[in-house]
Structure 1
Amino acid sequence: MAESDPRIKGAPLPRCPGTSVRDLMLADTNIVPEFLYTDEYENLGSEPIPASRYTAPEFFDAENRKMWPRTWQFAAREEELPEAGDHVVYENVGKSFLLIRQEDGTVRAFANVCLHRGRKLKTGDGWSAELQCPFHGFTWNNDGSIKKIPCRWDFSHLKEEEMALPEISVGRWGGYIFIREAADGPTLEEFLAPMPEHFQRWRHEECATAMWVGKVVPANWKVVMEAFMESWHTVVTHPQLLPFTGDANSMYNIYGDYVNLTVTPFGTMSPHVDPAGKAEQWIVDEFVKYNGRSSDNYDDKEAAAGGYNVKVPEGVTARAALGASLRDTTSAMFGHDVSFASDAEMMDALLYNVFPNFSPWAGFQPNIVYRWRPWHDVDHCLMEVRVLTRVPPGQAHPKAPPMKFLSVDQKWTEAPELGILGDVFEQDMENLPYVQTGLKASLNGKVQLANYQEIQIRQFQNTIMKYLNDEL
């Protein structure tokens, strides 16, 4: 891309030699949306990040006070509360909120705290005709208005119009429900831009949660999240993926303060692999064995396996052969015609990161959705992995399954529904707890970042500091 292109602010950054995302996209079987191969980033410099941002309780407390309440947080999917009266408890950094489906189909969110003595009104998801505190029986309607004050004669000082549950902002997009505690700030649409425009093609509102697993990880939430904001750790951490993953040839775009996009091409060899003697069929065979969104993650394994029995014809690339097979299999399994979709949208890792902790994959395959939340202290977090699949046309969205919870001592592989993804996440676990303890042991107190391949980490770190410095 020319240096004068306004989508690159500052001098273009060096890139890994070899086949680029743009090269692959322009050779695709079908037309690829231009934003999936167009560079858009800003040179954010090379200054190190203080290690204390990941380890200091004081920094952790500052995030909790000044950042989390002012950001839009992904709190639930629509299919978690399909009927009026269904509620979801969302908790983060000591705050607890109730999201409740109203009779008119809207969703409202309230502080999950009794205004009498402070007990949590609900401790889990479910359905309620009303919200009654289990301690003394103070009761609210599902719209947050007060319904009953027990022993009313003893509370003459309470005015009913002042006893409504405190309410916070709710935003809905693409089947996702967001909340924000602060009353002011950017709208959800402004916060997510340009994702709503991009996702018009992939329509996550047509998807539903097929599986959902959460695990406590002994590392700061940013340590874990940032491990999924670059692909070049694949060469050492996930070597089994190198035959079909263009890890160091990934494209990293950033959009303002809140959103970025990683495009990691699949169906092409890593630049770290010697291509001598490697056939296109070998790339496909390795993809079928180790790709995390393969048939291991489908209920209908026989149909899915058939879709992955891919033979590469003479003169055809692995990407083209995989794209054709995946289009056929996906259309048959989920009832959506995706014959128009590009090879890239059928197989590549198209990962959007939304500040501060929400990361959905894009494209037409079953989509992984990540969420990270602090878990009680600076040294632990809860990492959640969902897999969304498309709902066949004419069918109602199934209610989301509950999250399968894995404690700090359990392994991702103890959730067999994740298939081979569990093995991949366990490879990450070989690093992340030791990153946390290593940061605490650091003598120079600095974290050094790559200029391009880790530019998204720097973007998010800069945004955190804008919140803490009251610049946003």
Structure 2
Amino acid sequence: MDEQATSPRPDDRCPDITVDDILDQDSKPVPPEVRDDEWRDLGTDAVAAERYTGDAFFEAERTKMWPNVWQFAAREEEMPEPGDHVVYNNVGRSYILVRQENGSIRAFHNVCLHRGRKLRLESGHASELQCPFHGFTWNNDGSLKQIPCQWDFQHLEERDMNLPELRVGRWAGFIFVTESDAAPELADFLAPLPDKFARWRLEECYTALWVGKVIKANWKAVSEAFMEAWHSVVTHPQILPYTGDANTRYSIWGDHANLALTPFGMPSPHLRDEKLSEEEIMEAFDQTSGRSASAGGRKLAKGKTARQSMAEANREQFLEALGYDSSDATDSEMLDAFTYNVFPNMAPWGGFAPNIVYRWRPWPDQHATLMEVRILGRKPKNGDMPEAAEMRFLEEHEPWATVEEWGALGGVFDQDMENLPYVQEGLIASPNNRVELGKYQESRIRHFHQTMDKYIAGELP
């Protein structure tokens, strides 16, 4: 699948109104970071179904892609003090990230260099890294501290016994690791996201809620369910009164970053004949959205649209109540779904409202995925950073709606997850080994696969 030159979006799109038209009507001027946009025509080639099901492709991912990319491994607030550490596992690898005395973070392969046992099974705090098997011990900087019965290991050079180290990158409160010495610097890998996210200051945020569940589908199929919005008309009909699903603007940058910007506070183009009132739009948002500050307790402001009223409610609760100036926070940044993707398995939302962060990992192979959803809350401006919530692991029988803290959002996730095991079963049974994608609305999925192909072919990093 070859990338094509940058080109205009298709003219035969569903909506009568564009995202720029919506932004033009907002109550505050929209900054260039939100207006800035880029899309590429990536063609219309089908994707092979075996990419989601085959052992050979999964092995190519494991050996040629995963070791060479930057992976989101932790948030800063998970490990605030020296000696705090986070264990991150993925596709058979295990890493341990450790906060150093000077505040920096180092990452090591979580493997004892004696007999191979994992040094740590869980995140936590330790003054040293000691293997529970025989007691080989390392300092938190990875240097060797002690070998029990040292007399029996005279053949080992101390310098060769330091824990193998990974590169660490930090951005907006997120901590990344990579095994690759050839990978670009993290800022270059993420570009242009650091510039776009700067005004949203996610480093001021903390993990307020964190939920994970194993989904019986390939990690790519699960992540792709969050790369396009047009499934909402069938999968999420309850959100259509306030979601411009088919108005979504898709943007693509470089190899590793893309965006679906879905406007809220306006009806779906699929409901254009229903003539919903502004009051009906606002009521639906309050009752079925996970991003509403008013929770049904606020009326439509006089002379304002539902979108403007809802943005004002969010501005007051999510910024002003915490001591932040909201004067330049636009309606779009307080409401809309800025669903960015960072290749290969992370999706941080932009904007000023509580930010959602998705992460997907094979669990343990190509037929299942650990899907994680974090909600980032903003700390009080003059307060300390709250402790990070620990991940709540949902068992197979527990729906996402079990998590009462995120209100209606859990029901939306349940609707998505209900599809995915059947997607996997269908891919396994595919009679023609083809997955057909829309040229525009599913262009982010095609972008993802084209980047994957570059890693497997050795073209990246």
Using the size of structure 2 for normalisation, the TM-score is 0.96
Structure 1 position 89, deviation (Å): 0.2
2:51 maps to amino acid: R
Counterparts of 1:197 and 1:8 in 2: how far apart (Å)?
Answer: 23
Pairing 1:18–2:16 present: yes
Assess, with a 3 A threshold, how the Cα gap between structure 1 residues 294 and 320 changes in structure 2: closer, same or farther.
closer
Partner of 2:459: 471
Partner of 2:160: 162
> 1:193 is matched with which residue: 188, 191, 194?
191
Contact 2:216 2:367 in 1 (8 A): yes
Which runs of structure 2 are paired with 1:415-454 in the superposition (5 Å)? 415-454=403-442
Secondary structure of the structure 2 residue equivalent to 1:97: strand
Secondary structure of the structure 1 residue equivalent to 2:214: strand
Partner of 1:86: 84
Percent identical residues: 55
Structure 1 position 313, deviation (Å): 4.3
Structure 1 position 428, deviation (Å): 0.7
Counterparts of 1:58 and 1:468 in 2: how far apart (Å)?
Answer: 11
Contact 1:8 1:40 in 2 (8 A): no
Contact 2:241 2:276 in 1 (8 A): no
Pairing 1:27–2:25 present: yes
Structure 1 position 262, deviation (Å): 1.0
Pairing 1:124–2:122 present: yes
Aligned residue pairs, count: 456
Partner of 1:398: 386
Secondary structure of the structure 2 residue equivalent to 1:322: helix
Partner of 1:40: 38
Contact 2:96 2:109 in 1 (8 A): yes
Render the CA deviation track for 1:306-361: whole Å, top value 9, x for unaligned.
Answer: xx533224542211121222212223432212132111011000111000011111
Counterparts of 2:346 and 2:275 in 1: how far apart (Å)?
Answer: 41
Structure 1 position 411, deviation (Å): 1.8
Structure 1 position 28, deviation (Å): 1.0
Render the CA deviation track for 1:175-218: whole Å, top value 9, x for unaligned.
Answer: 00000011111110001111110111101001011010011000
Structure 1 position 19, deviation (Å): 1.5
Counterparts of 2:151 and 2:48 in 1: how far apart (Å)?
Answer: 57
Render the CA deviation track for 1:50-69: whole Å, top value 9, x for unaligned.
Answer: 00000101101110000000
Counterparts of 1:49 and 1:136 in 2: how far apart (Å)?
Answer: 49
Render the CA deviation track for 1:16-41: whole Å, top value 9, x for unaligned.
Answer: 23121000111111011234344411
Partner of 1:225: 223
Report the more deviating stretch, 53-62 or 399-408. 399-408
Structure 1 position 275, deviation (Å): 4.2
Counterparts of 1:236 and 1:423 in 2: how far apart (Å)?
Answer: 14
Partner of 1:245: 243
Counterparts of 1:209 and 1:252 in 2: how far apart (Å)?
Answer: 27
Pairing 1:72–2:70 present: yes
Counterparts of 2:35 and 2:423 in 1: how far apart (Å)?
Answer: 32
Contact 1:245 1:266 in 2 (8 A): yes
> 1:55 is matched with which residue: 44, 53, 56?
53
Contact 1:345 1:365 in 2 (8 A): yes
Which runs of structure 2 are paired with 1:143-222 in the superposition (5 Å)? 143-222=141-220
> 1:9 is matched with which residue: 6, 9, 17?
6
Contact 1:263 1:351 in 2 (8 A): yes
Structure 1 position 222, deviation (Å): 0.3
Report the more deviating stretch, 73-82 or 421-430. 421-430
Counterparts of 1:159 and 1:294 in 2: how far apart (Å)?
Answer: 60
Counterparts of 1:133 and 1:43 in 2: how far apart (Å)?
Answer: 52
Structure 1 position 261, deviation (Å): 1.1
Counterparts of 2:226 and 2:141 in 1: how far apart (Å)?
Answer: 38
Secondary structure of the structure 1 residue equivalent to 2:367: strand
Which runs of structure 2 are paired with 1:304-319 in the superposition (5 Å)? 305=295, 309-313=297-301, 315-319=303-307
Secondary structure of the structure 1 residue equivalent to 2:119: coil
1:133 maps to amino acid: C
Counterparts of 1:11 and 1:358 in 2: how far apart (Å)?
Answer: 27
Report the more deviating stretch, 136-145 or 329-338. 329-338
Partner of 2:332: 344
> 1:370 is matched with which residue: 358, 370, 374?
358
Counterparts of 1:277 and 1:12 in 2: how far apart (Å)?
Answer: 28
Mind listing any 5+ residue stretches in structure 1 that lack a counterpart?
1-6, 296-303
Report the more deviating stretch, 137-146 or 396-405. 396-405
Render the CA deviation track for 1:74-122: whole Å, top value 9, x for unaligned.
Answer: 0000000000000000000000000000000000000100000000000
Counterparts of 1:277 and 1:183 in 2: how far apart (Å)?
Answer: 57
Counterparts of 1:314 and 1:333 in 2: how far apart (Å)?
Answer: 22
Structure 1 position 274, deviation (Å): 3.5
Contact 1:212 1:403 in 2 (8 A): yes
Partner of 1:270: 268
Partner of 1:112: 110
Pairing 1:281–2:269 present: no
Structure 1 position 461, deviation (Å): 0.4
Counterparts of 2:320 and 2:303 in 1: how far apart (Å)?
Answer: 26
Counterparts of 2:319 and 2:338 in 1: how far apart (Å)?
Answer: 20
> 2:93 is matched with which residue: 95, 101, 104?
95
Structure 1 position 168, deviation (Å): 0.5
Partner of 2:447: 459
Structure 1 position 409, deviation (Å): 3.7
Which runs of structure 2 are paired with 1:320-339 in the superposition (5 Å)? 320-339=308-327
Contact 2:34 2:196 in 1 (8 A): no
Counterparts of 1:356 and 1:432 in 2: how far apart (Å)?
Answer: 19
Contact 1:81 1:399 in 2 (8 A): no
Report the more deviating stretch, 34-43 or 449-458. 34-43
Contact 1:280 1:317 in 2 (8 A): yes
Contact 1:31 1:341 in 2 (8 A): no
Contact 1:8 1:41 in 2 (8 A): no
Report the more deviating stretch, 399-408 or 107-116. 399-408
Contact 2:206 2:377 in 1 (8 A): yes
Structure 1 position 370, deviation (Å): 0.5
